[in-house]
Structure 1
Amino acid sequence: MNAATDLINCLGMERLKLKGTLVIWLAIFAPGFVVVVAFVAGYADGERFYQPGVNPWNNFCEHLLAGWSLFIFPLYISLLSALYAALEHQNRAWGYLYSLPVLKSSIYLSKLLVLTALIVLSHTALFVLGFCAGSLIGLLKPAFGFQNYAMSAFMPVACLHLFVCGLGMIVIQLLISLWYPSFIIPAGFGLFATLAGAIARSFQVSHFSPYLWPFVFLNNTLGVNNWNYAILGWSVCTYLLGAYISMFFLGRRSRV
């Protein structure tokens, strides 16, 4: 077997493992939670947020992106990666996986690619559910004017870029989750890193934390020309380097 065949076979195994688990549902629930909070706030206090003659979608999308990038997205990756790795830890399946006639690197890469695909799903859900929620506010509260404007063009672009900004977090959290069998350690680490970044976000040094990169990328503005695009390169480099380091260390353990 070659490396590509091994990877395809491992991806097939991962797909079967995910059936009937909460992992995929979490990918929908996390962005759904942000959308519900923004919907409730917009529906109840829309008079404060949406001004006559101004596109209400701008304010609504700003609430979605701020809540998602600063708190929910990092916590979601931490919980998702820990829950995903727990599928193997709880069943003591690592010995079996490493006994299969496939490259150990393929086992790790298949998990990294599946986790990355789930993050793509979550950002797609954030955009779709956000559009549905805003449209529903327009139906229930016509005075806010949602039905008179189109959804802001920056929203799908922001979702795509925030996904890229999260690549660094993905590779870090997956390594911690695979290395430690305890669910508490990766979940707790992600929680601590998220809270520390949120508290210290006004300090320049905190911007080097991958857990703050999605928020730093937006740069407190809706203007796409003013977003911090350098973060995208940092995140991609962390993803690739982290994947190589993870394969190096995990591949040298008989069991994880």
Structure 2
Amino acid sequence: MTNTLYTAFLSEKYKLLRNRQIFGVLIAPVLLIFAIDGYIIYDIIRSGSISAVPNPWKVLLGRYVFQFFYLLYPILVALFVYACCDVEYKNNNYKVLFTLPLDKSKIFFSKAVFILLTILFSILFAYAAFLISGYILSLIYPVLGFQNYDYRLVIFLTFLKLLITLSAISMIQLALSLLFRSFIYPIGVSMFMLVFSVFVAKKSFSDFIPYTGTYKAFLDIMNENDGFERLDYNNIAMIVLFMLISFYIFKRKRQF
């Protein structure tokens, strides 16, 4: 009964909920959206005038939010995933786990599932905050014109593709965090790939670099893109591929 994936998952939840990084992933994007709302309201009050904006969902809210998201989110995910592994390193838990009569695959996949679920809830909270922000601004300042544009499909697909991108990035970061015990390498790779992906975003091979997905989410909401592209399908494949790579590293490296 105890030798189940669900039991292992509950164990991971108990350990990882105590990490402050999880609250950063869940709350920071929401706080950022509301901070941008505050800036928009402050700018209107400061200027003393207000006028209609062509599609304020993208010109006002989307432009500001996703300019921060494509820089902030991958770093938050990298920090969170490393923290999920670091808690085991600090307490020497891996040596203990590998001595228990518990299937090692269940230990690993419970951690991977917990990471993916955390990212899912983070995106859901951010998505809800984004929509609520637009509706609140439409009530406070109807002249801006939020209520005049039905941008729900583009917003939904943009956040969905962002979820897929961040899930792929999380599995890459999981492999790096299992491979290297040092904080520098996983976070350094994340920051380098984030900058590199912006420079090569217009190249055809960028569709095979998951980190470009956050920048392209910004382009999607600005260009009203409501379709899936090669990058999105590749990122789905990357989730599975790097989860398997992470599992291989996990099983091979028993001495942490």
TM range (shorter): 0.7 to 0.9
Following superposition, the deviation at residue 234 of structure 1 comes to 0.6
Following superposition, the deviation at residue 192 of structure 1 comes to 1.7
**2:109 maps to what in 1?**
109
**1:75 maps to what in 2?**
75
CA distance in 2, matches of 1:251, 1:68: 37
Following superposition, the deviation at residue 11 of structure 1 comes to 0.3
**1:18 maps to what in 2?**
16
Identity %: 22
CA distance in 1, matches of 2:131, 2:157: 14
CA distance in 2, matches of 1:15, 1:236: 24
Cα pair 1:75 1:191 within 8 Å, conserved: yes
**1:222 maps to what in 2?**
224
Q: Which runs of 5+ in 2 are unaligned?
A: none
* Aligned: 1:187 with 2:187: yes
Following superposition, the deviation at residue 108 of structure 1 comes to 1.4
> What is the aligned residue count?
250
SS at the partner of 1:201? Answer: coil
CA distance in 2, matches of 1:62, 1:113: 29
Cα pair 1:28 1:125 within 8 Å, conserved: yes
Cα pair 1:38 1:63 within 8 Å, conserved: no
Q: Residues 95 and 143 of structure 1: is their aligned pair in 2 closer, same or farther, counting only changes over 3 Å? A: same
CA distance in 2, matches of 1:113, 1:251: 17
Cα pair 1:31 1:126 within 8 Å, conserved: yes
CA distance in 1, matches of 2:41, 2:202: 31
Counterpart AA for 1:70: Y
**1:255 maps to what in 2?**
255
Following superposition, the deviation at residue 40 of structure 1 comes to 3.9
Counterpart AA for 1:115: I
**1:35 maps to what in 2?**
33
CA distance in 2, matches of 1:189, 1:174: 12
CA distance in 2, matches of 1:53, 1:80: 37
Q: Residues 236 and 223 of structure 1: is their aligned pair in 2 closer, same or farther, counting only changes over 3 Å? A: closer
What root-mean-square deviation, in Å, do the aligned CA atoms of Structure 1 and Structure 2 show?
2.8
Following superposition, the deviation at residue 151 of structure 1 comes to 6.0
SS at the partner of 1:251? Answer: helix
Cα pair 1:197 1:212 within 8 Å, conserved: yes
* Aligned: 1:121 with 2:149: no
Following superposition, the deviation at residue 14 of structure 1 comes to 0.7
CA distance in 2, matches of 1:244, 1:151: 37
Cα pair 2:29 2:69 within 8 Å, conserved: no
When the two structures are superposed, what TM-score results if normalisation uses the length of structure 2?
0.83
SS at the partner of 2:239? Answer: helix
Cα deviation digits, residues 79-122 of structure 1 (max 9, x gap): 11112222212222111111121122221111111000011011
Q: Which runs of 5+ in 1 are unaligned?
A: none
**1:89 maps to what in 2?**
89
CA distance in 2, matches of 1:140, 1:185: 46
Cα pair 2:175 2:245 within 8 Å, conserved: no
CA distance in 1, matches of 2:24, 2:115: 12
**2:152 maps to what in 1?**
152
Which has the larger displacement, 146-155 or 104-113?
146-155
CA distance in 2, matches of 1:138, 1:203: 38
Following superposition, the deviation at residue 248 of structure 1 comes to 1.7
SS at the partner of 2:91? Answer: coil
SS at the partner of 1:190? Answer: helix
